[in-house]
């Protein structure tokens, strides 16, 4: 009996000391968000509460260890955040320029009064692997190419198949247009549902921009969406510019009326969509918007009219379309319907609308005054092909 007690005690001690000494790990990421011409946000999650920072180095051929690199910390109002999730915005970058980066998390073991005890550090590898690299956007670039996928609903390997079918490695950026998972339950849903696959494939080095779908608004983790995507931006709707294209990302909200029992009285998407109309009224003053050769709207729910149209899509039709007609856009890319639809511009909707299915990828290349679009299915077959010229 005594021997058994000693054995149990030794085992518990060993497990406890193992747990206490366990090395902090980067669990997910890093991945890029909101890459613009002079700034970018880098996001990652570690397995223990920690402070986080990014080291940034020029892509000049020097070894990452050749000198002390500039550090940018994850902070709020000047105080370093102790958190599992880290987001760092790096600023004052040069347009169209490649930067190397390294992420760090240092465990915070305790914080009592003015005493903080730090633990071990985890970082991305710059010795056995090439340091991670990203390139800032460049409004003066003559051409750009990009891909868009949507309505993945957590299905494994679909993003990889679609992006490979469209040669994602040659493209400047990737757009996610909503419903990447069905319910936003927890962080595992995000990473197991689509982000781990995306990070493994491209998202640490190639910019990804995300327009929220209606399914990302559901679930107990839905209010955490912006902690992970566009975490340093004021809103989930925004514009950015790459080469000849100005991208306008909108958030079309939910599909049913706000009063529907499914939303348990927690939403006001009608008001939120009106806020976006007010924001769009100011876009004509924005230089990136004004000077772009092509203006492309990314919005999950399409404004297409049909006898069975639901409230959310009606709002997109009745609120978003008039202001988009007024400010002038060249193309609207949507999802939501799980089928491919292409509608030419009409007197009511004065720009073409493409709805991409859940099993195809939109591939667009804009160069000078021309923009070419292809919709490619899982087998690599081109199922829609369109061309646009500047007006
Ligand atoms: Fe949807």
The neighbour count for residue 374, using CB atoms within 10 Å, is 16
Gap from CA of 270 to ligand 1 centroid (Å): 17
* Under 8 Å between Cβ of 95 and 136: yes
* Helix (H/G/I), strand (E/B), else coil: 236: coil
- How many Å apart are CA 232 and CA 225, to the nearest integer? 12
Gap from CA of 181 to ligand 1 centroid (Å): 10
Gap from CA of 304 to ligand 1 centroid (Å): 14
Q: Given a cut of 90, is residue 304 above it in pLDDT?
A: no
Q: Quick one: pLDDT at residue 14? A: 54
Gap from CA of 303 to ligand 1 centroid (Å): 13
Gap from CA of 250 to ligand 1 centroid (Å): 14
Gap from CA of 248 to ligand 1 centroid (Å): 18
Percentage of the chain modeled with pLDDT above 70: 94
Gap from CA of 80 to ligand 1 centroid (Å): 37
* Helix (H/G/I), strand (E/B), else coil: 315: helix
pLDDT tens for 192-218 read 999 999 999 999 999 999 999 999 999
Gap from CA of 377 to ligand 1 centroid (Å): 19
* Under 8 Å between Cβ of 231 and 81: no
Look at the block and give the residue holding tokens 């613009």. 36
Gap from CA of 218 to ligand 1 centroid (Å): 11
Gap from CA of 382 to ligand 1 centroid (Å): 23
Tokens of 49: 């509460």
Average pLDDT over residues 255-284: 94
More confident residue, 10 or 316: 316
Gap from CA of 264 to ligand 1 centroid (Å): 19
Q: Quick one: pLDDT at residue 12? A: 53
Gap from CA of 214 to ligand 1 centroid (Å): 5
Q: Is the peptide bond before 380 cis (omega within 30 degrees of 0)?
A: no
Gap from CA of 37 to ligand 1 centroid (Å): 30
Gap from CA of 301 to ligand 1 centroid (Å): 6
Gap from CA of 387 to ligand 1 centroid (Å): 27
Gap from CA of 373 to ligand 1 centroid (Å): 22
* Helix (H/G/I), strand (E/B), else coil: 141: coil
Question: What is the DSSP code (8-state) at residue 94?
Answer: P
Least confident of 135-139, 257-261, 333-337, 353-357: 257-261
pLDDT tens for 84-96 read 999 999 999 999 9
Q: Quick one: pLDDT at residue 76? A: 96
Gap from CA of 187 to ligand 1 centroid (Å): 20
Which residues fall inside 5 Å of ion ligand 1, going by CB?
A: 179, 213-214, 336
**Closest to 325 in 3D by CA, of 292, 371, 277:** 277
Gap from CA of 335 to ligand 1 centroid (Å): 7
**Closest to 218 in 3D by CA, of 159, 264, 175, 275:** 264
Tokens of 218: 């559901």
List the beta bridge partners of residue 86.
44
pLDDT tens for 216-246 read 999 899 999 999 999 999 999 999 999 999 9
- How many Å apart are CA 33 and CA 87, to the nearest integer? 9
Q: Quick one: pLDDT at residue 305? A: 80
Percentage of the chain modeled with pLDDT above 90: 90
Gap from CA of 208 to ligand 1 centroid (Å): 19
As a whole number, the mean pLDDT across the chain is 94
pLDDT tens for 26-59 read 999 999 999 999 999 999 999 999 999 999 999 9
pLDDT category, 310, cuts 50, 70, 90?
Answer: very high
pLDDT tens for 120-160 read 999 999 999 999 999 999 999 999 999 999 999 999 999 99
pLDDT category, 106, cuts 50, 70, 90?
Answer: very high
Gap from CA of 336 to ligand 1 centroid (Å): 4
Gap from CA of 184 to ligand 1 centroid (Å): 13
Q: Quick one: pLDDT at residue 18? A: 52
Task: Annotate 118-145 with b (16+ C-beta within 10 A) or e (fewer).
Answer: ebeebebebeeeebbebbbbbbebeebb
Q: Given a cut of 60, is residue 275 above it in pLDDT?
A: yes
Q: Quick one: pLDDT at residue 264? A: 86
Gap from CA of 120 to ligand 1 centroid (Å): 43
Gap from CA of 363 to ligand 1 centroid (Å): 20
Strand pairing of 70-73 and 75-76? unpaired
């Amino acid at each position: 009996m005594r021997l058994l007690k000693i054995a149990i005690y030794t085992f518990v001690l060993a497990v406890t000391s193992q747990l206490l000494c366990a090395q902090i790990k980067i669990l997910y990421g890093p991945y890029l968000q909101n890459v613009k011409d002079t700034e970018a946000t880098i996001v990652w999650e570690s397995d223990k509460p920690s402070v986080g920072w990014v080291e940034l180095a020029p892509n000049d051929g020097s070894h990452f260890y050749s000198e002390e690199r500039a550090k940018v910390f994850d902070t709020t109002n000047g105080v370093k955040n102790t958190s599992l999730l880290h987001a760092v915005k790096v600023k004052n970058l040069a347009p169209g320029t490649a930067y190397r980066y390294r992420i760090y998390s240092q465990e915070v073991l305790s914080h009592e009064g003015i005493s903080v005890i730090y633990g071990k550090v985890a970082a991305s590898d710059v010795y056995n692997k090439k340091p991670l690299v990203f390139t800032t956007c460049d409004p003066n670039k003559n051409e750009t190419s990009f891909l868009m996928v949507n309505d993945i609903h957590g299905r494994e390997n679909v993003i990889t198949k679609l992006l490979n079918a469209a040669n994602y490695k040659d493209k400047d950026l990737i757009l996610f247009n909503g419903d990447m998972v069905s319910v936003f339950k927890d962080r595992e849903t995000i990473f197991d549902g689509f982000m781990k696959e995306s990070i493994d494939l491209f998202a640490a080095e190639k910019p990804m921009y995300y327009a929220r779908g209606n399914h990302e608004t559901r679930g107990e983790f839905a209010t955490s969406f912006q902690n992970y995507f566009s975490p340093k931006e004021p809103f989930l709707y925004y514009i950015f510019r790459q080469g000849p294209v100005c991208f306008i990302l909108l958030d079309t909200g939910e599909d049913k009326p706000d009063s529907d029992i499914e939303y348990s009285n927690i939403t006001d998407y009608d008001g939120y969509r009106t806020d976006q109309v007010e924001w769009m009224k100011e876009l004509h003053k924005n230089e990136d918007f004004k000077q772009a050769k092509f203006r492309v709207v990314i919005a999950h729910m399409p404004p297409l009219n049909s006898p069975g149209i639901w409230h959310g899509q009606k709002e997109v039709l009745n609120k978003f379309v008039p202001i988009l007609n007024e400010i002038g856009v060249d193309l609207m890319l949507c999802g939501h319907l799980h089928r491919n639809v292409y509608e030419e511009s009409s007197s009511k909707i004065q720009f073409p609308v493409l709805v991409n299915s859940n099993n195809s990828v939109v591939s667009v290349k804009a160069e000078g005054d021309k923009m070419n679009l292809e919709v490619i299915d899982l087998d690599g077959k081109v199922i829609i092909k369109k061309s646009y010229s500047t007006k």
